[in-house]
Amino acid sequence: MDNQTVSRRDFIKLTAVGVAVAAGTRAIQQVEASEGAKGEHQWAMVIDQSNCIGCEHCTFACRARNDVSPDIEWNKVLEAGEVGGKMTYLPRPCMHCEHAPCVEVCPVGASYYRDDGIVMMDYDKCIGCRYCQIACPYEARTFNWEKFEGDNPAVPEWGMPEVERRPRGVPEKCSFCYQRIDRGLSLGLTPGVDDAATPACCAACPTGARVFGDLNDPNSQVSQLLKKYPSYRLREHLGTGCRVYYIPVGVVPVRDVTTTEG
C-alpha cells in the first residue's frame, strides 16, 4: 500500500510538471506568433464581382504559371446566381486566412504563414495526412491523388511554368504566386502594379476585376478599393480573416471591355 501512495503523489507531481512545461511553451509561442505575424507587406486580393464575366482567364493563367494539373483548380470560378437576369461569378483562390485552419491543424508545420500574410505549403515536409483539406472552410486544397504527368494543356498559351510540379500524395493550393511577388520585389517592381510581380490570375484578368496589392500601403489599389466600396469575405463569421475580399455585384460601375474568349 505504501508503494501506491508514492505513485499517486508522483502522478500529481508529474502532471503538474507536464502542465507547467506545456503552458510555458504555449505562452512563448503565442508571443512569437503575435510579433511575427506582420511583415513589411500585407498582401491581399480584391475581387470586384460586378466586372467578373466568368471567362476563367484567371484559372488558365494560374494553371500555366503554377503548372497545375487539369484535374485541379487552384482558382475555381463558380457561378454565384443571377442578379437582374445576368449571371454573377465568384472566383475562389486560397483565402490566405489570417487565422488559417489549415496552418493550425497541420501536424508537421508544412502549411505555414509568411510574414507578408501568404499561407504557404512546404511540399517537401508534407506527409499527406489531408487534415488541412478537412479543416479548410473554402475547399481551397486539392490532393494529388495521382502524379501529374505529361503536358500541361495551358502551356505555353497562358504562360510558362514558374514553379515545380507537386509530387503525388500531397495536397496543393494557391500561393498568391509568391514566386512572382518575391522575384518582382527583388527587381524593384511593385506587386499589384507591375504585371510581372503580380499573381498570374490578376495579371490575366481582362476586365480588371481582380486586384492585388499591399494592405500596409494606403495608396495601393486594394486599400483604395476597400476604402471606397463595401466588401465582404467568405464565411466571415468563422473569423478566419481572409485576405481575399469581394465587392458585391452592383457596387462598382461595369466597365465596357470586349474580350476574346480563351
Partner 1 sequence: MKTIIKTIRENALTPWGLWLGFLGLLLLGALLGGLTVFWKGLSITNLTDRVPWGLWITLDLSAIALSAGAFSLCAGVYLFGLKRYAPIARTATFVGLIGYTMAMLALVLDIGRPDRFWKALVYWNTHSLLWEVTMCIMLYLTVLVLETMPIFATFEWLKKRFPKLTEKMEHVHHYAPFLAILGLGLSSLHQSSLGAVYGVIKARPIWYKPEMAVLFMFSAIVGGIALTLLASMLSARLTPKAKINDGLIERVAQFLGYLMIGYLYFRFWDWLAQTYTYEPGRTEAFELLTKGTLSFNFWFGEMIIGALLPTFILLYRPARLSPFWRMLGLAMVVGGVVAFRFDTNIVGLLAVISYLPGEALVSYASYTPSLVEWVTGLGIIAYGLLAFSLGVKYLRVVDHRITSEARETVTVKSGEAVQI
Footprint of partner 1 on this chain (CB under 8 A)?
Answer: 1, 3-4, 7-8, 10-11, 14-15, 18, 25-26, 29, 78, 80-81, 90, 92, 101, 104-110, 125-131, 133-139, 141-147, 167-171, 232, 234-235, 238-240, 246, 248
Cβ proximity to partner 1: between 171 and 191 the closer is 171
Residues in the chain: 262
Which element (helix H / strand E) includes 34?
helix 2-36
Q: How far apart are the first and last CA of the chain?
A: 81
What's the closest the beta carbon of residue 5 comes to partner 1, in angstroms? 10
The distance of closest approach from Cβ of residue 164 to partner 1 in the complex, given in angstroms and rounded to an integer, is 16
**From start to end of the chain, where are the E strands?**
43-48, 76-83, 86-92, 111-113, 119-121, 142-143, 171-172, 210-214, 244-247
* Residue with smaller CB distance to partner 1, 31 or 219: 31
Distances in whole angstroms, Cα of residue 248 to Cα of each of 131, 164, 213:
32, 35, 19
Minimum distance of partner 1 from residue 80's CB (angstroms): 6
| Residue closer to partner 1 (CB basis): 114 or 183 | 114
CB of 10 to partner 1, least distance (A): 7
d(CA 248, CA 240): 20
Q: Any bridge partners for residue 213, and if so which?
A: 44
- Residue (4 or 258) nearer to partner 1, CB: 4
Nearest-approach distance from CB 69 to partner 1, in angstroms: 12
Nearer to partner 1, 133 or 224 (CB): 133
Least distance (Å) from partner 1 to the CB of residue 237? 9
Using the minimum distance from each CB to partner 1, give the nearer residue, 40 or 122.
Answer: 122
Report yes or no: 16 and 222 within 8 Å, Cβ to Cβ.
Answer: no
Q: How many Cβ atoms from other residues are within 10 Å of residue 85's Cβ? A: 5
